[in-house]
Amino acid sequence: MLVLFDNGTPRTLARHLIDHHTVTEARARGWEELENGELLSKEEAQTRRRRT
């Protein structure tokens, strides 16, 4: 499962999930300015592109 953290998520939380999930941060994708619905919409669009 992909876990996408926004900028408000504590970085230490990733350490607890990284062994079982793919963890990435919005800032690593250049999306640090996106919030909530915008962030989710962007990720959904990226996921659709990867599937096709």
Encode the chain (52 residues) as per-residue pLDDT tens digits: 888 888 888 888 888 898 889 998 999 999 999 988 899 999 899 888 887 7
Neighbours of 49 (CB within 10 A): 8
From CA 49, how far away is CA 29, in angstroms rounded?
15
Q: Tell me the CB-side half-sphere exposure of residue 3, using CA atoms within 13 A.
A: 14
Position 8 scores a pLDDT of 85
Kindly list the domain boundaries of the chain, sorted by start residue.
2-51
